[in-house]
Homo-oligomer: A and B are copies of this chain.
Amino acid sequence: MGELEARTPRERYRAQIREEIKKHAWEQIATAGASALSLNAIAKQIGMSGPALYRYFANRDELITELIRDAYRSLATAFRARAEAGADLSDLAHALRRWALDDPQRYFLVYGTPVPGYQAPEDTTRIASEIMAVLLDACTAQQTPATPSPLQTHLDEHRDWAAPHPAGPSALHRALTFWTRLHGVLSLELAGHFTGMGFDPARLYTAEAEAIAGH
């Protein structure tokens, strides 16, 4: 991650400190969640005092935005890698699950409860559509049924989000279903809503993944 090709020594040093700040920020987030992230505490861990950190990030929001960007990039990279290795929809589903379980708070940073005032930068929406492109590729690999459903024609008529991708109506629908259904199981599992219920969330997830890939 990050901008490693820095010309001047000053820029190289700056980029290095920024990475160290983000490293400690991730550790804090992983243990206490994004809302408990303290710039003050990070600065002390690094070894510098409070306000010095504001030389590197204008404010708390900018740091969190950068972390969200990194999280998005990390998912996009994982997805692209699996796709290039010839993954089908089921493989992508399990790659998503592994990525989420690897750091639940990172998942929530991207797909969790949004801060009401927060507006995602254009940057992240671009990465999101890149992820969607990989997904649409995998969906077009499946066979398509003859006549599209009313919902599928609706999606085909409002396909701004799929932009230049040549996916058909049923592929659009499948991609969306992939996203929503897997997010449904995953987010409830990570939020702990299945704890104490007894069954194995992985089996439920796999069943949903195979239902999407098969149908």
A residues at B contact (CB < 8 Å):
31-33, 35-36, 105, 108, 111-117, 125, 149-151, 154-155, 158-161, 176-177, 179-185, 187-188, 191-193, 196-200, 203-204, 207-208
Contacts and interface: CB of A to CB of B under 8 A. Distances in A.
Question: 5 nearest interchain CB pairs?
Answer: A184-B184, A112-B113, A158-B198, A161-B197, A180-B184
A33 to B, nearest CB: 5
15 contacts: A31-B116, A32-B117, A33-B116, A36-B116, A111-B188, A111-B193, A112-B113, A114-B192, A150-B203, A161-B197, A161-B198, A180-B204, A180-B208, A181-B184, A183-B187
Contacts of A115: 33, 35
A37 to B, nearest CB: 11
A160 B197 CA distance: 6
A21 to B, nearest CB: 21
Contacts of A179: 184, 188
Contacts of A33: 113, 115-116
Give the secondary structure class of A's interface: helix
Contacts of A161: 196-199
A49 to B, nearest CB: 26
Q: Which of A125, A160, A176 gathers most chain B CB within 10 Å?
A: A176
A150 B183 CA distance: 22
Nearest to A206: B151
A192 B204 CA distance: 26
Nearest to A176: B204
A210 to B, nearest CB: 10
